[in-house]
């Protein structure tokens, strides 16, 4: 929980920002030892375990049962712990997060929305992190310099907006948002929301860190209670102990194989059991990070000595000491119950590799060779890529260097191209000081900038042509079609950094380092020994260059944030139109999507990232990756007004210009993947009104609601098959739109026949107000 600095006589501070905003109740009688700063960058904002504990006790008494750790942290941040209706998987919780974090690609739209709100300052500690706009091309320093030049307008906007509205600014080159959060801002018991789907990384430090869209971040920065559907809790009990080639990454690769890409939807995954203590803090973060790939709201580990050691090593020993005092608060209650349970014996867990094209297709390393041959997947590994927000810790780099050193000692280098992405400037500087960078470079690796890079498609790849079938292996988290290099024929596999390093050295996918031999330069056969490395550096971390910009102490009221009306990168937002008051009649189907449709399909990243602050320009990528069921084509749909075929955005613009609203029909888990709200903003901007699918991914469904769209699901999934690409759809019942009450639809076919069926929704009363106002931001303005 968050407390600010107050004068001794201050009993109550009300931030009068309109209806429903944050009211901070502060007691002057602080226990001296409890006054521990949340971070070194915000010395007057304090960790408040006392309030967290008070709220947890209220809720525990109300529910009359033991609580999971997830419940303690989430319910401990309730706006109204006394009156809040609490039912897992059913009710919506109104929460008070402690802080907000935004990466630069999503921060542009979040800050544009915050500017539109008219508020003078953010109500909670907030930060912007420049990590998404740096393209990997020729190496770290040169790529960073190029990015600073190309993106100067965006970086200046974010820096000046941060200064004006009280948001900390991490400059390009500082590192990936999630590593920066782990090093500086996450701590046991904190509730943090971030505008990136891999925000759950912070769960490795006992935090509840949840990925959201920019509009959710605006709510929290405005001091408004943030809504979250009360999560179910999936327990993952770990027994045994990690050893040998098996790594923390293999835990989540195994869990992904068990739960699939949608098995965690609507739930927090809570790891517990005796096996937890064999995993480092950064290893726990790896597991929580990739929990996004099973659709989980977030993931979390209980506070233990590995977290304490990490806090101390990153200069936060005072937080560790305070956490020790509240240790019982930061672990699950004895006897707590989970909605479902997965058990994994770490003694028996083997190294895994997942893919291609989906992160839940899990294979033990012992099986991948035969499986690849059977399926016709290329065995030659073209590129091995380690790092990213999932696996770029000091321990990860050390274990990879341990493997690389063995190869070098035998006169070998990588057969595949090999890249290394440090997670932060602190990691880069420390692995350079301690010799890891030299080893990884000597074996054939190229160190990239401290940024997301190829993991999100920021990769100027030139070794294969687009459409050329090939295999890459990464220590990243996602491997959707064309995600890393924009080549749909690239078969991307996900594994631990040490496995990726071994495969890059061997050059082939069917190499299993547990049993297979390499040939040394002198012709002798040898096996790689299991990697070993220090969890944390023996010396202190080297912080490297100072890349943080503090908001001005005197406030930013006199500062200006200018957006040029001729800019191609930034565009001020215009309010979306309100609901007209009636049913939605004769919506044209824009596209009926076939199969998997992630946010990468809806709003591609890579070269499109440069338009994330310009809604009209970024909308030119809307649904260009989605497969049209009519012709199995991509970005090729029929314009029902002209009879001609065109790109999805082009047809949508034509419909909008001619006053024809439209609807998208989709399959299961629609919108899985990134938190990018552009996948919701773009359909709204181009005239969309409704998305009808079999099921949604959590973040995307919320983002659609925030922008005044209607995300609806088939009551009977088989009704998907009744819809034809040239149909017109009417949505009935909006005059009596209410929580829990289905809407109906009339589908008119071109042959004069029609179908009628029910559509479900998950709107609550507040979210219905968003729809009626035209967007959540419109509703916020109405309430000011």
Q: What are 266's two structure tokens?
A: 């609507």
- Length of the chain measured in residues: 784
- Predicted confidence at residue 18, as pLDDT, reads 32
Tell me, rounded to whole angstroms, the distance of Cα 84 from its chain centroid.
28
Evaluate whether residue 550 is within a structural domain: no
Evaluate whether residue 4 is within a structural domain: no
Q: Which residue has the tokens 């709204």?
A: 684
Query: 431: part of which helix (H) or strand (E)?
Result: helix 425-433
Is 243 noted as a catalytic residue in this protein?
no
Evaluate whether residue 30 is within a structural domain: no
Is 667 noted as a catalytic residue in this protein?
no
Closest of 108, 45, 95, 97 to residue 676, by C-alpha:
108
Provide the pairing of β-strand 525-526 with 518-519: antiparallel
Rounded to an integer, the average pLDDT of 486-506 is: 97
Rounded to an integer, the average pLDDT of 476-505 is: 96
pLDDT at 382 over 70: yes
DSSP-derived 3-state class of residue 461? coil
Rounded to an integer, the average pLDDT of 285-301 is: 97
Taking CB atoms within 8 Å and a gap of at least 24, the contacts of 513-519 are 513/245, 513/351, 513/365, 513/403, 514/244, 514/245, 514/350, 514/351, 514/365, 514/366, 515/366, 518/407, 518/410, 518/412
Domain check: are 590 and 723 in the same one? yes
592 C-beta neighbours (distance < 10 Å), count:
23
Q: Is the peptide bond before 356 cis (omega within 30 degrees of 0)?
A: yes
Domain of 192, in residue numbers: 69-345
- HEC string of 265-312 equals ECEEEEEECHHHHHCCHHHHHHHHHHHHHHCECEEECCCCHHHHHHHH
**What residues contact 462, with CB distance under 8 A and at least 6 apart?**
none
Of 131, 216, 360, 600, the active-site residue reads 131
- C-alpha angle with apex 565: 560 to 568, nearest 5 degrees? 110
Domain check: are 609 and 671 in the same one? yes
Give the orientation angle of helix 305-313 with respect to helix 317-325, to 10 degrees: 150
**CATH number for 749:** 3.20.19.10
- Predicted confidence at residue 674, as pLDDT, reads 83
* CB contact at 8 A, 495 and 475: yes
Report how far residue 413's alpha carbon sits from residue 202's, in angstroms, rounded to the nearest whole number: 35
- HEC string of 210-235 equals EECCHHHHHHHHCCCCEEEECCEEEE
DSSP-derived 3-state class of residue 66? coil
Which of 181-185, 575-579, 674-678, 776-780 is least confident?
674-678
Of 400, 674, 695, 775, the active-site residue reads 674
pLDDT at 391 over 90: yes
Percent of the chain with pLDDT over 90: 92
Give the model confidence (pLDDT) of 183-233 as tens digits.
999 999 999 999 999 999 999 999 999 999 999 999 999 999 999 999 999
Domain check: are 590 and 653 in the same one? yes
Of 99, 363, 653, 676, the active-site residue reads 676
302, 322, 345 — which closes off a domain? Answer: 345
Report how far residue 116's alpha carbon sits from residue 96's, in angstroms, rounded to the nearest whole number: 22
Give the model confidence (pLDDT) of 747-770 as tens digits.
999 999 999 999 999 999 999 999
Domain check: are 383 and 513 in the same one? yes
* CB contact at 8 A, 552 and 163: yes
**What residues contact 782, with CB distance under 8 A and at least 6 apart?**
773
Closest of 148, 770, 740 to residue 449, by C-alpha:
148
Closest of 340, 593, 587, 605 to residue 486, by C-alpha:
605
- Predicted confidence at residue 7, as pLDDT, reads 31
- Predicted confidence at residue 212, as pLDDT, reads 94
- C-alpha angle with apex 357: 461 to 472, nearest 5 degrees? 40
Of 478, 612, 685, 700, the active-site residue reads 478
Rounded to an integer, the average pLDDT of 497-506 is: 98
345, 370, 399 — which closes off a domain? Answer: 345
Give the model confidence (pLDDT) of 678-728 as tens digits.
999 999 999 999 999 999 999 999 999 999 999 999 999 999 999 999 999
Evaluate whether residue 48 is within a structural domain: no
**Burial of 783 per CB tally in 10 Å (0-12, 13-18, 19+):** middle
Closest of 29, 9, 31, 13 to residue 21, by C-alpha:
13
**Burial of 514 per CB tally in 10 Å (0-12, 13-18, 19+):** middle
Report how far residue 418's alpha carbon sits from residue 401's, in angstroms, rounded to the nearest whole number: 12
Any idea what DSSP says for residue 579? P
Is 550 noted as a catalytic residue in this protein?
no
Rounded to an integer, the average pLDDT of 402-422 is: 98
Give the model confidence (pLDDT) of 431-452 as tens digits.
999 999 999 999 999 999 999 9
* CB contact at 8 A, 204 and 282: yes
Evaluate whether residue 34 is within a structural domain: no
Give the orientation angle of helix 425-433 with respect to helix 394-409, to 10 degrees: 40
Is 131 noted as a catalytic residue in this protein?
yes
Give the model confidence (pLDDT) of 592-606 as tens digits.
999 999 999 999 988
* CB contact at 8 A, 296 and 201: no
**Burial of 107 per CB tally in 10 Å (0-12, 13-18, 19+):** buried
Domain check: are 513 and 589 in the same one? no
Give the model confidence (pLDDT) of 541-556 as tens digits.
999 999 999 999 888 8
Residue 141, φ and ψ in degrees, nearest 5: -65, -45
Domain check: are 282 and 365 in the same one? no
Report how far residue 739's alpha carbon sits from residue 727's, in angstroms, rounded to the nearest whole number: 28
pLDDT at 26 over 90: no
Tell me, rounded to whole angstroms, the distance of Cα 674 from its chain centroid.
6
Q: What are 756's two structure tokens?
A: 């009628």
What is the band of 784 on the pLDDT scale with cuts at 50, 70, 90?
A: confident
DSSP-derived 3-state class of residue 650? helix
Residue 364, φ and ψ in degrees, nearest 5: -60, 145
Average pLDDT across the chain, whole number: 93
Any idea what DSSP says for residue 136? B
* CB contact at 8 A, 407 and 400: no
Evaluate whether residue 247 is within a structural domain: yes
Is 328 noted as a catalytic residue in this protein?
no
Report how far residue 38's alpha carbon sits from residue 98's, in angstroms, rounded to the nearest whole number: 9
Q: Which residue has the tokens 């969890």?
A: 535
Give the model confidence (pLDDT) of 651-690 as tens digits.
999 999 999 999 999 999 999 988 789 999 999 999 999 9
- Predicted confidence at residue 11, as pLDDT, reads 27
Evaluate whether residue 49 is within a structural domain: no
Q: What are 355's two structure tokens?
A: 């893919």
Give the model confidence (pLDDT) of 606-662 as tens digits.
889 899 999 999 999 999 999 999 999 999 999 999 999 999 999 999 999 999 999
What is the band of 322 on the pLDDT scale with cuts at 50, 70, 90?
A: very high
Query: 322: part of which helix (H) or strand (E)?
Result: helix 317-325
pLDDT at 15 over 80: no
Is 478 noted as a catalytic residue in this protein?
yes
Provide the pairing of β-strand 662-665 with 584-592: parallel
Give the model confidence (pLDDT) of 156-176 as tens digits.
999 999 999 999 999 999 999
Of 94, 96, 99, 132, the active-site residue reads 132
- Predicted confidence at residue 33, as pLDDT, reads 54
Any idea what DSSP says for residue 670? B
Q: Per the structure, how many domains does the chain have?
A: 3
Domain check: are 237 and 108 in the same one? yes
Domain check: are 325 and 361 in the same one? no
340 CB-side CA count, 13 A: 14
What is the band of 44 on the pLDDT scale with cuts at 50, 70, 90?
A: very high
561 CB-side CA count, 13 A: 26
What is the band of 23 on the pLDDT scale with cuts at 50, 70, 90?
A: very low
What is the band of 534 on the pLDDT scale with cuts at 50, 70, 90?
A: very high
345, 360, 389 — which closes off a domain? Answer: 345
Report how far residue 721's alpha carbon sits from residue 711's, in angstroms, rounded to the nearest whole number: 18
Rounded to an integer, the average pLDDT of 40-68 is: 97
Domain check: are 414 and 496 in the same one? yes
Rounded to an integer, the average pLDDT of 98-105 is: 97
- Predicted confidence at residue 304, as pLDDT, reads 98
Give the model confidence (pLDDT) of 67-87 as tens digits.
999 999 999 999 999 999 999
* CB contact at 8 A, 211 and 195: yes
**CATH number for 442:** 3.30.499.10
* CB contact at 8 A, 240 and 347: yes
Domain check: are 219 and 129 in the same one? yes
**Burial of 733 per CB tally in 10 Å (0-12, 13-18, 19+):** middle
pLDDT at 32 over 50: no
- Predicted confidence at residue 34, as pLDDT, reads 59
* CB contact at 8 A, 648 and 637: yes
Report how far residue 511's alpha carbon sits from residue 504's, in angstroms, rounded to the nearest whole number: 10
Evaluate whether residue 577 is within a structural domain: no
Instruction: Please give the sequence-ordered ranges of beta strands (E in DSSP) within 392-515, or none if there are none.
Output: 417-421, 445-447, 470-474, 490-494
pLDDT at 538 over 90: yes
Domain check: are 298 and 372 in the same one? no
Q: Which residue has the tokens 């090999």?
A: 418
DSSP-derived 3-state class of residue 161? helix
Domain check: are 331 and 461 in the same one? no
Predicted TM-score (pTM) of the model is: 0.90
Give the model confidence (pLDDT) of 105-146 as tens digits.
999 999 999 998 889 999 999 999 999 999 998 888 999 999
- Predicted confidence at residue 201, as pLDDT, reads 98
137 C-beta neighbours (distance < 10 Å), count:
17
């Amino acid at each position: 929980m968050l407390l600010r600095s107050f004068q001794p006589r201050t009993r109550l501070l009300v931030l009068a920002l309109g209806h429903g905003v944050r009211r901070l109740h502060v007691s002057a009688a602080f226990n001296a030892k409890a006054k521990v700063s949340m971070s070194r960058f915000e010395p007057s904002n304090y960790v408040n375990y006392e309030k967290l504990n008070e709220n947890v006790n209220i809720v525990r008494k109300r529910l009359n049962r033991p609580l999971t750790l997830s419940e303690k942290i989430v319910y401990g941040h309730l706006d109204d712990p006394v009156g809040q209706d609490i039912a897992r998987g059913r009710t919506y919780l109104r929460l008070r997060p402690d802080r907000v974090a935004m990466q630069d690609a999503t921060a542009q739209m979040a800050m544009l929305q915050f500017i539109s709100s008219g508020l003078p300052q953010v109500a909670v500690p907030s930060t912007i992190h420049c990590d998404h706009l740096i393209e990997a091309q020729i190496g770290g320093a040169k790529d960073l310099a190029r990015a600073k030049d190309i993106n100067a307008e965006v970086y200046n906007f974010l820096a000046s907006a941060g200064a004006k509205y009280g948001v900390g600014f991490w400059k390009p080159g500082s590192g990936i948002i999630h590593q920066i959060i782990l090093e500086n801002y996450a701590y046991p018991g904190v509730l943090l929301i971030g505008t990136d789907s891999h925000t759950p990384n912070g769960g490795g430090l006992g935090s509840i860190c949840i990925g959201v869209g920019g509009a959710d971040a605006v709510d929290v920065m405005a001091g408004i209670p943030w809504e979250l559907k009360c999560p179910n809790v999936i327990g993952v009990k770990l027994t045994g102990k990690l050893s040998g080639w098996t790594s923390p990454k293999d835990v989540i690769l195994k869990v992904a194989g068990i739960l699939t890409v949608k098995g965690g939807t609507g739930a927090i995954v809570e790891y517990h059991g005796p096996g937890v203590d064999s995993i480092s803090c950064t290893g726990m973060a790896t597991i929580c990070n990739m929990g996004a790939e099973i659709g989980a709201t977030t993931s979390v580990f209980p506070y233990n000595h590995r977290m304490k050691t990490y806090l101390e090593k990153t200069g936060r020993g005072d937080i560790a000491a305070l956490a020790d005092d509240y240790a019982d608060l930061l672990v699950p209650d004895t006897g707590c119950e989970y909605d479902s349970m997965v058990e994994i014996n770490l003694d028996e867990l083997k190294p895994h590799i997942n893919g291609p094209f989906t992160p839940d297709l899990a294979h033990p390393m012992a099986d991948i060779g035969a499986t690849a041959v059977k399926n016709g997947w290329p065995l030659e590994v073209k590129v091995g890529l380690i790092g990213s927000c999932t696996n770029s810790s000091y321990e990860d780099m050390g274990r990879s260097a341990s493997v690389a050193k063995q190869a070098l000692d035998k006169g070998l280098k990588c057969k595949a191209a090999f890249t290394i992405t440090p997670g932060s400037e602190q990691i880069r500087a420390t692995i350079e000081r301690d010799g890891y960078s030299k080893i990884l470079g000597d074996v054939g690796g190229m160190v990239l900038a401290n940024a997301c890079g190829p993991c999100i498609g920021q990769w100027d790849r030139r070794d294969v042509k687009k459409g050329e079938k090939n295999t890459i292996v990464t220590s990243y988290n996602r491997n959707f079609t064309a995600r890393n290099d924009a080549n749909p024929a690239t078969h991307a596999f996900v594994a631990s950094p040490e496995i990726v390093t071994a495969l890059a050295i061997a050059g082939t996918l069917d190499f299993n380092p547990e049993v297979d031999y390499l040939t040394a330069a002198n012709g002798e056969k040898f096996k790689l020994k299991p990697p070993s490395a220090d969890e944390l550096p023996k010396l202190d971390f080297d912080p490297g260059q100072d890349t943080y910009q503090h908001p001005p102490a005197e406030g930013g009221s006199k500062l200006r944030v200018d957006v040029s009306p001729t800019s191609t990168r930034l565009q001020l937002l215009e309010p979306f139109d309100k609901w007209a008051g009636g049913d939605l009649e004769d919506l044209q189907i824009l596209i009926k999507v076939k199969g998997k449709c992630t946010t990468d399909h809806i709003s591609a990243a890579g070269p499109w990232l440069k338009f994330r602050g310009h809604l009209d320009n970024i909308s030119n990528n809307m649904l260009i990756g989605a497969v049209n069921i009519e012709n199995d084509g991509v970005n090729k749909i029929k314009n029902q007004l002209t009879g001609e075929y065109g790109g999805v955005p082009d047809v949508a613009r034509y419909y909008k210009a001619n006053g024809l609203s439209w609807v998208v029909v989709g399959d299961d888990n629609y919108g899985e993947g990134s938190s990018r709200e552009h996948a919701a903003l773009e359909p709204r901007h181009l005239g969309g009104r409704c998305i009808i699918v079999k099921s949604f991914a959590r973040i995307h469904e919320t983002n659609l609601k925030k922008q005044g769209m209607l995300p609806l699901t088939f009551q009977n999934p088989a009704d998907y098959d009744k819809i034809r690409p040239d149909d017109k759809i009417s949505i009935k019942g909006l005059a009596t739109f209410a929580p829990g009450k289905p809407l109906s639809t009339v589908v008119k076919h071109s042959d004069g026949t029609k179908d009628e069926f029910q559509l479900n929704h998950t709107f609550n009363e507040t979210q219905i107000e968003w729809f009626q106002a035209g967007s959540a931001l419109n509703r916020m303005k109405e309430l000011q």
